[in-house]
Structure 1
Amino acid sequence: MAKDKQAGAPTLVRDQPAPKIVATTSVLPKPVTTRSSVVEPIRRDTAAALPFGRQNYTLMLAGIGIILAGFFIMSLDKEEFGFGFLGLTLGPLVVMGGFMLEFFAILARPKA
């Protein structure tokens, strides 16, 4: 049995854990500098970032006012069930004009 054992070789005993082998040189990876894949948007002044300009909002408020005026005109009709000129002709034309103004106010390009 003495011949089987080599000089300096560790012997294992059943109750002992195996010895840990530690490398004398450790190779650590170089730190990699990565760039973020998310690109920050270029910020401009806040007035240019808004979807509508001052003129658009003014036209939208005017359109809402005209629509309300058209409904008020329809309610002024004294004929039975609103079958007079105000309820059937003038009021709906004014409301339609207000909706057309709203459509234009939304689609108009804001001035820079």
Structure 2
Amino acid sequence: MGEQKRKEDIQTDFVFGRKNYTFMLIGLGCIALGFILMSGGGSDDPNVFNPEIFNFRRIRLAPTLVLIGFAIEVYAILLNPNKK
């Protein structure tokens, strides 16, 4: 009976709160979107140069989204879930 009581007293607590995990998912979505926007733009023929790889979306927008996503991840880790 004593062993069963000890099992009931033990609670499993998560390291982060619900708010932390929500921000982590948002940050992960931003990172994934940035990498998706960065992909493509290649050429099927290696002798033909495709200038699409140097457009605004791949050079500025996508890396910015990835960095914003990493910043959100850092914020999610440092966020105190007990603070209202």
Fold shared by both chains (TM-score > 0.5): yes
TM-score range, shorter chain: 0.5 to 0.7
| Residue-pair matches, total | 68
Find the partner of 2:28 among 56, 64, 69.
64
Q: What is the TM-score when the length of structure 1 is the normalising length?
A: 0.52
Deviation beyond 4 Å, 4+ runs, structure 1: 43-46, 76-79
Where in structure 2 are there 5+ consecutive unaligned residues?
1-8, 43-49
Aligned residue for 2:4?
A: none
Relative to structure 1, the CA distance from residue 111 to residue 44 in structure 2 (aligned partners, 3 Å threshold; closer, same or farther) is farther
Unmatched tracts of structure 1, length 5 or more: 1-42
Q: Kindly name which structure, 1 or 2, has the bigger radius of gyration based on alpha carbons.
A: 1
- Structure richer in helix, relative to its length: 2
* 1:56-95 pair list within 5 angstroms: 56-75=20-39, 80=51, 82-95=53-66
Q: Which residue of the other structure, out of 93, 97, 104, is the alignment partner of 2:68? A: 97
RMSD: 2.5
1:77 and 1:86 in contact (8 A); partners too: no
Percent identity for Structure 1 against Structure 2: 41
Higher relative contact order (CA 8 A, sep 6+): 2
Matches within 5 A, 1:1-112: 46=12, 49-75=13-39, 80=51, 82-111=53-82
TM-score, normalised via structure 2 length: 0.67
